[in-house]
Amino acid sequence: MSDTLSVVVVGCGAISRAWLGAVGLQEEVELSALVDIRREAAQRAAQEHDVSDALVETDLEGALRAVRPDVVFNCTVPEAHCPVTLTALQHGCHVLTEKPLSDNMADARRMVEAARREGRMLAVVQNRRYLPQVRALRDFVASGRIGRVTTVQSNFFLGPHFGGFREQMRHVLLVDMAIHTFDAARCMTGADATSVYCHEWNPAGSWYAHGASAVAIFEMTGGIVYTYQGSWCSEGLPTSWEGDWCIIGDKGAVTWDGHDALRAEVVAEQDGFMSRLDEVEVPVPHMETTGHDAVIREFIRCVRTGKRPETAASDNIKSLAMVFGAVESAERGQKVPVDA
């Protein structure tokens, strides 16, 4: 493998700016081609990011044959994630794809299997994992300070007026956004969901066609119960895009407001009606880089070393299964198993 990895970016819409900005900062990566079924999107991306050397193409196979890249970055819309990824894997490329891995579980499983068969890396940009406060919660829980985790709760209440496709989508909150929050719950606890009961509705006044609000109760491994409450048509007193969190263990609890405030109390002494509690610090790690840039850097490092990325599709599919488990439960009105 040469010092510089050749990369093709497929899908040059809104989110590709975050990717191309990050790629521009990385010396080990050379952008060889920009592909979009809309030529004008690929051309605009090439101009905006000053990459006039890169091939601009509408045909993915043609681009892959022409530049024979090491890596494909898949920034297309969810329904294109599977076909684009399978084509790239067949051409011997490692693939880092935008979330969600796929818009359905059957294709997600095919993608994981294809990567295994081809012996290539496939991972997902689950960028909200790569935030110092999410890392802080994960490390704090793992340190055992609050004992054994029993209960997790997250609230996500925002009122974005996106316009566009989201306002027509079915299950919009669960399918377009909740993957970040569900994946964060797995990251913080190290536990996986085994079942879910979800109630989904579209509140009066919603500017979405379907499913702007949901409450989901997940049973997780280790006996943890995780409750998610969310809405995308909640005006006033918004949470952050990360949501606010409370994690309770048998020796204490920790909260995060989704911004900078992390608080924890642990049992100091239990010999009366209520335990005496000590407030303890939750150390926040220093991170050189966060978000898309951090995921892309880790992926490139893993391609070089053969190490498995944290957001490998074979693991991330367990977060996706929480999304589609919640959708199935909401449609059937009953608790369902969560199967990756």
Binding site for ligand NAD (CB under 6 A): 10-15, 35-38, 41, 60, 75-78, 80, 84, 98-99, 125, 127
Question: What is the helix (H) or strand (E) element at residue 201, kind and residue range?
Answer: strand 193-201
Task: Indicate the residue whose CB is closest to ligand NAD.
Answer: 13
Residue number, 13 or 238, with CB nearest to ligand NAD = 13
Closer residue to ligand NAD (CB): 64 or 330:
64
Instruction: Between 51 and 125, name the residue whose CB sits nearer to ligand NAD.
Output: 125
If the CB atoms of residues 135 and 180 are measured against ligand NAD, the closer one turns out to be 180
Q: Which is nearer to ligand NAD, 173 or 253 (CB)?
A: 173
How far apart are CB 122 and ligand NAD at their closest, in Å?
15
Smallest gap from residue 103 Cβ to ligand NAD (A): 9
- What is the edge-to-edge ordering of all strands in the sheet holding 149-157? 276-280, 262-269, 252-256, 244-249, 149-157, 225-231, 213-220, 193-201, 336-337
Residue among 123 and 125 whose Cβ is closer to ligand NAD: 125
CA distance 120 to 108: 15
Q: How far is the CB of 150 from ligand NAD (least distance, A)?
A: 30
Nearer to ligand NAD, 141 or 294 (CB): 294
- DSSP letters of 255-303? EE-SSS-EEEEEEEE-SSSS-EEEEE-------S--HHHHHHHHHHHHH
d(CA 26, CA 320): 29
Measured CA to CA, the distance from residue 324 to residue 216 in angstroms comes to 12
**What minimum distance in Å lies between the beta carbon of 108 and ligand NAD?**
13
For 16, the enclosing helix (H) or strand (E) is helix 16-24
CA 259 to chain centre: 18
For residue 198, the minimal CB distance to ligand NAD (Å) is 20
3-state secondary structure of 202: coil
The C-alpha atoms of residue 65 and residue 73 are separated, in whole angstroms, by: 16
**Nearer CB in complex with ligand NAD: 20/149:** 20
* Distance of closest approach, residue 15 Cβ to ligand NAD, in angstroms: 4
C-alpha 256/C-alpha 261 separation (Å) is 6
CB 111, min distance to ligand NAD, A: 14
CA distance 303 to 119: 11
Distance (Å, whole) CA 228 – CA 210? 18
Of the candidates 11, 7, 10, the residue with the CA atom closest to the CA atom of residue 26: 7
Sign of CA dihedral 125, 10, 101, 96: negative
Ramachandran region, residue 15 (left: φ > 0; alpha: ψ -120 to 50; beta: rest): alpha
In the complex, least distance from residue 4 CB atom to ligand NAD, rounded to whole angstroms: 24
Shortest separation between residue 224's beta carbon and ligand NAD, angstroms: 26
70 versus 242: smaller Cβ distance to ligand NAD: 242
